């Protein structure tokens, strides 16, 4: 079971996200301040940290910087979960080494999907594999996570475009089952969009699997 640390000074948000993650199958704990978060990480390092940027003592940016600077936490997955929605804040957070950046308000379903995507990318076995293959797998995991979100929302055009990009750019790193899953998802997208030409393409691909 993956352990997730939720860091947010808003007690209601902290508790609701923590409870939702527990229901989704995670071992989730909460911390209301930056200092409490650092103490919890030292006590028992989690598998992932959900980090608000605006905290009453040490802000999330500084916490992320400290985690990336320390050898024992430099690979610890960090996801910013913040009300700072501007492009500059998002780029700045990712530039610090955060693995994802989620803006409030958010849906719990989307949060869970993106946490799972980050955890898949952090699988240690990837470190022993050829760099090009690892890069393709990372790209696949990111894009596939977003494609799953679009499908869950019924955003079929966005799901179709991302899934098509996965097959085009990451095909060499996909298993037969993954290619089959994505092809069937493309067919579902085309059917929802009523795009007959796309339907024919993916029907033929599905028959050839």
CA dist., res. 200 & res. 56, Å (int): 56
Per-residue pLDDT band for 134 (boundaries 50, 70, 90) equals confident
Q: Is the pLDDT of residue 3 over 70?
A: yes
CA dist., res. 11 & res. 7, Å (int): 10
| Whether residue 92 is found in the same domain as residue 133 | no
Q: Could you read off the pLDDT of 52-90 as tens digits, one per residue?
A: 988 989 988 899 999 999 999 988 999 998 877 667 767
Kindly state the percentage of the chain with pLDDT values over 70: 92
| Whether residue 115 is found in the same domain as residue 146 | no
Q: Is the pLDDT of residue 127 over 50?
A: no
| Whether residue 38 is found in the same domain as residue 86 | yes
Least confident stretch, 16-20, 117-121, 126-130, 205-209 = 126-130
Of the residues 91, 122, 153, the one at which a domain ends: 122
Q: Could you read off the pLDDT of 159-192 as tens digits, one per residue?
A: 999 999 999 888 888 888 888 999 999 999 999 9
Q: Is the pLDDT of residue 203 over 80?
A: yes
CA dist., res. 31 & res. 41, Å (int): 10
Half-sphere exposure of 150 (CA within 13 A, CB side): 20
User: Would you state the pLDDT for residue 139?
Assistant: 85
* Structural domain that includes position 205: 127-209
- How many domains does the chain contain in total? 2
CA dist., res. 84 & res. 103, Å (int): 7
Element at 20 (helix H, strand E): helix 11-23
| Whether residue 169 is found in the same domain as residue 116 | no
Report, in angstroms and rounded to the nearest whole number, the Rg of the chain calculated over CA atoms.
19
pTM for the whole thing? 0.57
| Whether residue 79 is found in the same domain as residue 40 | yes
| Whether residue 104 is found in the same domain as residue 178 | no
Q: Is the pLDDT of residue 50 over 90?
A: yes
Of the residues 85, 104, 122, the one at which a domain ends: 122
User: Would you state the pLDDT for residue 89?
Assistant: 66
| Whether residue 3 is found in the same domain as residue 105 | yes
The chain-wide mean pLDDT, for the chain, equals 87
Kindly state the average pLDDT of the residues 202-207: 84
Of the residues 77, 101, 122, the one at which a domain ends: 122
The residue ranking higher by pLDDT, 85 or 100, is 100
Q: Could you read off the pLDDT of 25-43 as tens digits, one per residue?
A: 899 999 999 999 999 999 9
User: Would you state the pLDDT for residue 124?
Assistant: 57
Task: Name residues whose C-beta falls within 8 Å of residue 29's C-beta, 6 or more positions apart in sequence.
Answer: 3, 4, 5, 6, 18, 40, 46
Helix, strand counts (H, E) of the chain: 9, 5
| Whether residue 137 is found in the same domain as residue 92 | no
């Amino acid at each position: 079971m993956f352990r997730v640390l939720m860091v947010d000074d808003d007690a209601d948000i902290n508790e609701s996200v923590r409870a939702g993650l527990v229901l989704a199958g995670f071992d989730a704990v909460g911390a209301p301040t930056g200092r409490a978060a650092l103490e919890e990480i030292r006590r028992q390092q989690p598998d992932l940290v959900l980090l608000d940027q605006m905290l009453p003592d040490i802000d999330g940016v500084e916490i992320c910087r400290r985690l990336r600077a320390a050898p024992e936490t430099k690979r610890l997955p960090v996801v910013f979960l913040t009300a700072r929605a501007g492009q500059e804040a998002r780029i700045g957070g990712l530039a610090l080494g955060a693995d994802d950046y989620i803006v409030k308000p958010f849906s719990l379903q989307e949060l869970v999907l993106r946490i799972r995507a980050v955890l898949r990318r952090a699988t240690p076995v990837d470190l022993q594999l050829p760099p090009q293959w690892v890069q393709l797998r990372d790209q696949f995991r990111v894009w596939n996570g977003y494609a799953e979100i679009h499908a869950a929302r019924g955003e079929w055009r966005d799901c179709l475009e991302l899934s098509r990009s996965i097959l085009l750019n990451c095909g060499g790193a996909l298993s037969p089952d993954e290619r089959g899953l994505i092809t069937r998802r493309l067919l579902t997208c085309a059917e929802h969009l009523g795009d007959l030409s796309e339907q024919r393409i993916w029907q033929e691909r599905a028959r050839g699997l």
